[in-house]
Amino acid sequence: MLKKRLIFTLLYDSGYFMLSRNFRLQRVGTLDWLQHHYNFARIAFFIDELIVLDVSRNQRNPDVFCDTLKALTAGCFVPIAAGGGIRSIEDAHRLLRSGADKIVVNTPLFETPDLIARLAEEFGQQCVVGSVDVKRDSDFLYHAYIANGTQKIDRNITQAISWIDEGHVGELYVNSMDRDGTGQGYDFDILDRLPGIHSIPVILAGGAGNGTHLLAGLDDVRVDAVATAHLFNFLGNGLQKAREFIMEQQAKHLASWPSVQDVIM
């Protein structure tokens, strides 16, 4: 049986890894901090997938981001998706040559659908993760946002993501801007508003603060993977503990593997 996934999302802005709350960013540490103080290499053995997003608010520097991605992924033997600022086939190529297995796209889904089609043609549909940032506005309706959450797509969410049916996107990453970084748990109502999600895998993001939240996400039949980008809620051995908790509660959800010492020694 296909297992569900526990995904760790890292947000990167101009040389720093960030904590995001409702899409407002706060600097946490550099690559060096992540590797030496966060012990990322060890943590990487307790997740099913890694997503690294360049959410730089100012001018992006793809060369530096790719170098960071390489350094980060060198000892990380899980699938890695990367994105942020992909505007051409070459941008995607560069990420795929720097340790990424999949690419994450957001703004081009709405602004340049032809690029999405070409990415799928070039790398295969399974390589393209469509990311949708969703916010419930004052009219109580959900809307999709692009450009790091700054620009609202003025159509209802169902119409706005109709590109799912075109078959160019292999997975959907749904992030709640309202819950982002709050630690209040996932927004499951979003899933009711999204058509077509029965056809491709869905990654739910935004709001997980503890193992119980992650488990609640995995328990939902519409969800194939849960993601957290909260560097502090899962500090130290937090992700390992959360994984162990999920395995105790519902072992069927997640994959298991021997410890690295058992295999390498």
Partner 1 sequence: MATLVYRVLNVSSRVVVIDYGMGNIWSVTSAIKFLGEDCLVTNDPHIIQKADKLILPGVGSFRRAMHTLEDKKLIDPLLEAVKVRKRNILGICLGFQMMATSGTEDGFSYGLGLIAGSVERFTQDELKGLKSPHIGFNQVVIPDGSGFFAGFMDQVADFYFVHSYRLLPHTLNGQIALCKHGINFVEAYRNENIFGTQFHPEKSQTQGLRLLRNFLAS
Residues taking part in catalysis: 133
Examine residue 75 and tell whether it contacts partner 1 (CB under 8 A): yes
Q: Which two tokens stand for residue 244?
A: 């162990």
> b or e along 187-224 (b: 16 or more beta carbons within 10 Å of the residue's beta carbon)?
beebbebbeebeebbbbbbbbbbbbebbbbbbeeeebb
Q: Which lies closer to partner 1 via its Cβ, residue 114 or residue 258?
A: 258
Q: Which lies closer to partner 1 via its Cβ, residue 48 or residue 133?
A: 48
Examine residue 204 and tell whether it contacts partner 1 (CB under 8 A): no
Q: CB of 155: closest distance to partner 1 in angstroms?
A: 25
Stretch of 30-38, 124-132, 142-150, 188-196 lying at the interface with partner 1 (CB under 8 A): 124-132
Q: Which two tokens stand for residue 68?
A: 């960071």
Strand 128-136 relative to strand 102-105, pairing: parallel
Q: CB of 215: closest distance to partner 1 in angstroms?
A: 17
Alpha-carbon dihedral sign for residues 78, 50, 186, 176: negative
Give the Cα separation of 135 and 160 in Å (integer).
13
Stretch of 17-25, 51-59, 199-207, 235-243 lying at the interface with partner 1 (CB under 8 A): 199-207
Examine residue 79 and tell whether it contacts partner 1 (CB under 8 A): yes
Give the Cα separation of 258 and 265 in Å (integer).
12
Examine residue 96 and tell whether it contacts partner 1 (CB under 8 A): yes
Examine residue 74 and tell whether it contacts partner 1 (CB under 8 A): yes
Q: Which lies closer to partner 1 via its Cβ, residue 55 or residue 100?
A: 100
Examine residue 121 and tell whether it contacts partner 1 (CB under 8 A): yes
Give the Cα separation of 70 and 122 in Å (integer).
22
148, 123 contact by CB (below 8 A): no
User: Minimal CA–CA distance to 155: which of 113, 192, 197, 110?
Assistant: 110
Q: Which lies closer to partner 1 via its Cβ, residue 123 or residue 234?
A: 123
Give the Cα separation of 222 and 192 in Å (integer).
9
- Name beta bridge partners: 19: 26
User: Minimal CA–CA distance to 154: which of 146, 175, 242, 230?
Assistant: 146
Total residues contacting partner 1 (rule CB under 8 A)?
48
Q: CB of 42: closest distance to partner 1 in angstroms?
A: 13
Examine residue 90 and tell whether it contacts partner 1 (CB under 8 A): no
Examine residue 221 and tell whether it contacts partner 1 (CB under 8 A): no
Q: Contacts with partner 1 in 222-261 (CB under 8 A)?
A: 224-225, 254-260
Q: CB of 254: closest distance to partner 1 in angstroms?
A: 8
Residues that bind partner 1 in the complex, under the rule CB under 8 A: 1-5, 45, 48, 66, 70, 73-75, 77-80, 96-102, 121-127, 170-171, 198-201, 224-225, 254-260, 262-264
